[in-house]
Chains A and B, each alone.
Chain A
Amino acid sequence: MADGSDDKGSNRPKLALHVPEPRYRPGDTVDFSHIPISEPGAQPRPDEAAEAQETFPLCNDLIRVLGEDNAAHGPWDPRLDAETLRGMLREMALVRAFDNRMYRAQRQGKTSFYMKCTGEEATSVCATHALAGDDMIFPSYRQQGCLIARGYELTEMINQIYSNKADKLKGRQLPIMYCSKRLSFFSISGNLATQLPQATGFAMASASKGDSRIAATWVGEGSTAEGDFHSALTFATVYNAPVIFNVINNQWAISSFSGFAGAERATFAARAIGYGMAGLRVDGNDPLAVFAAERWAADRARANAGPTLIEHFTYRAEGHSTSDDPSAYRSAEERTEWPLGDPIMRLKNHLIQLGEWSEEQQEAMDKELDEHVRASMKQAEKNGILGHGLHHPFHTMFEDVFEELPWHLEEQAEQAIRERKIKFPEGRPE
Chain B
Amino acid sequence: MTPPAETMDQERQTGEAKDAGETREMNMIEAINSALDNMLERDDDVILLGEDIGYFGGVFRCTAGLQEKYGKTRVFDTPISECGIIGVAVGMGAYGLRPVPEIQFADYIYPGLDQLISEAARLRYRSAAEFTAPMTVRSPFGGGIFGGQTHSQSPESIFTHVSGLKTVIPSTPYDAKGLLISCIEDNDPVIFFEPKRIYNGPFDGYYDKPAKSWKGFDEAQVPEGHYRIPLGKARTVREGDAMTILAYGTMVHVVESVTRSKGVNAEILDLRTLVPLDIEAIEESVRKTGRCMIVHEATRTSGFGSELSALVQERCFYHLEAPIERVTGFDTPYPHSLEWAYFPGPVRIGEAIDKLLQD
Contacts and interface: CB of A to CB of B under 8 A. Distances in A.
Contacts of A204: 88, 91-92
B269 interface: no
Contact of B119 (A170, A173, A198, A200): A198
Interface stretch (B1-9, B61-69, B122-130): B122-130
A402 B79 contact: no
A201 B73 contact: no
A153 to B, nearest CB: 16
Contacts of B131: 179, 181, 186-187
Interface string A181-198: 100001101110010111
Given A169-B126, A401-B124, A201 B88 contact: yes
B97 to A, nearest CB: 5
Nearest to B278: A407
Given A181-B130, A400-B124, A400-B129, A194 B118 contact: yes
Contact of A235 (B73, B78, B99, B277): B78
A23 interface: no
B127 A179 contact: yes
A206 B127 contact: no
Contact of B127 (A136, A181, A407): A181
Contacts of A169: 126-128
A196 B86 CA distance: 12
A323 interface: no
A238 B79 CA distance: 8
Contact of B279 (A196, A234, A407): A407
B97 A205 contact: yes
Contact of A202 (B81, B95, B125, B128): B95
Contact of A194 (B81, B114, B130): B114
A177 B123 CA distance: 12
Interface in A386-420: 400-403, 406-408
Interface stretch (A87-95, A224-232, A306-314): A224-232
B130 A201 contact: no
B276 interface: yes
A203 B91 contact: yes
B96 A205 contact: yes
Nearest to B84: A231
B87 A196 contact: yes
A247 B92 CA distance: 22
Contact of B88 (A200, A209, A230): A200
Nearest to B82: A231
A168 interface: yes
A407 B186 CA distance: 17
A147 interface: no
B235 to A, nearest CB: 18
B90 interface: yes
B163 interface: yes
Interface string B80-113: 0101101111111111110100000000000100
A208 interface: yes
A199 interface: yes
Interface string B315-351: 0000000000000000000000000000000000000
B99 to A, nearest CB: 8
Interface in A21-40: none
A408 B276 contact: yes
Nearest to B189: A402
A259 B126 CA distance: 33
A181 B59 CA distance: 38
B276 A407 contact: yes
A104 interface: no
Contacts of A180: 130
Interface string A139-171: 000000000000000000000000000001110
B157 interface: no
B166 interface: yes
A400 B188 CA distance: 10
Contacts of A168: 128
A288 to B, nearest CB: 30
Nearest to B130: A181
B187 interface: yes
Contacts of A189: 118-119, 122, 126
B91 A406 contact: no
B115 interface: yes
B232 interface: yes
B188 A402 contact: yes
B161 interface: no
B74 interface: yes
B169 to A, nearest CB: 17
Given A205-B97, A227-B111, A231-B83, A197 B90 contact: yes
A197 B111 CA distance: 13
A186 B94 contact: yes
B39 interface: no
Contacts of A65: none
| A168, A198, A200, A202, most chain B CB atoms within 10 A | A198
Nearest to B121: A401
A367 interface: no
B305 interface: no
Nearest to B131: A187
A172 interface: yes
Nearest to A138: B91
Contact of B187 (A179, A196, A403, A408): A403
Nearest to B76: A239
A186 B119 CA distance: 12
A189 to B, nearest CB: 6
Contacts of B96: 205
Interface in A211-260: 215, 227-228, 230-232, 234-235, 238
Nearest to A185: B130
A197 B83 contact: yes
Nearest to B94: A202
Contacts of B94: 136, 186, 198, 201-202
A191 B120 CA distance: 12
Interface of A: 136, 138, 168-170, 172-173, 177, 179-181, 186-187, 189-191, 194, 196-206, 208-209, 215, 227-228, 230-232, 234-235, 238, 400-403, 406-408
10 contacts: A136-B94, A168-B128, A189-B126, A201-B93, A206-B95, A208-B97, A231-B87, A234-B79, A406-B232, A408-B276
Given A200-B91, A201-B93, 11 more contacts: A136-B94, A200-B84, A201-B88, A202-B91, A205-B91, A234-B81, A235-B87, A400-B128, A403-B124, A407-B276, A408-B279
Interface of B: 47, 73-74, 78-79, 81, 83-84, 86-97, 99, 111, 114-115, 118-119, 122-132, 163-164, 166, 186-188, 232, 275-277, 279
